Amino acid sequence: MPSTVIGYARTSTLDQTYGLAAQIRDLRAAGCEKIFEEQLSSVDKQRPELLKALDYAREGDVFVVTKLDRLARSMADLIKLQDTLETKGVTLKILNLNIDTGTPTGKLMMNLLGSIAEFERDIMLERQREGIAKAKDDGKYKGRAPTAQRQAEDVKRLKAEGKTAEQIMVELNISRSSVFRILRAA
């Protein structure tokens, strides 16, 4: 079976019709025979057309996007999507970056992007740990108090008023185990 060039176009809102039309135009110019399109934010948990496009892709196909941010919401998301495509034997083309994972240079560029993203994340986490340590030393960081524990006095008061654990759960919107944990500690 001959390979298919698959395009994926996405805009964040329904108002961006010109942006979507421009992506579709560029995908057609790149030789896309099948184009999946959607208009929703990439922060939405599910992108149904992206999932359909990934499901549609077969070994030897080429998956094309106009820009990296149209495909992935983060570098971690990009690496996950790239792994999915690679496992299926599908190459990825990102038009504005001139990246084609079907070539050695394209694979190198994707690996570099992934490595840089991982490096940036490690640096960010290190800075975060340093900031927390400094805040703790300065007495400004106590950590987040457990949500149910903030209501411990209310739990004890409601129990003293004769309420059942179930009634306390409903009234304070906390779990049964949290209610009993607080009462055991009292």
The set of catalytic residues is 12
Cα–Cα dist 41/115, whole Å: 26
Per the structure block, which two tokens stand in for 78? 């990009």
Say how far apart CA 144 and CA 149 lie, in whole Å.
11
Kindly give, in sequence order, each residue whose CB lies less than 8 Å from that of residue 45, ignoring residues fewer than 6 positions away: none
Rounded Cα distance, 79 and 60, in Å? 19
The rounded distance, in Å, linking the Cα atoms of 75 and 12 is 18
Residue 174, CA distances (Å) to 28, 35, 119, 148 in order: 54, 47, 39, 6
Nearest alpha-carbon partner for 76 in 121, 42, 40: 121
Q: What are phi and psi of 33, to 5 degrees?
A: -95, -30
Coil vs helix vs strand at 147 = coil
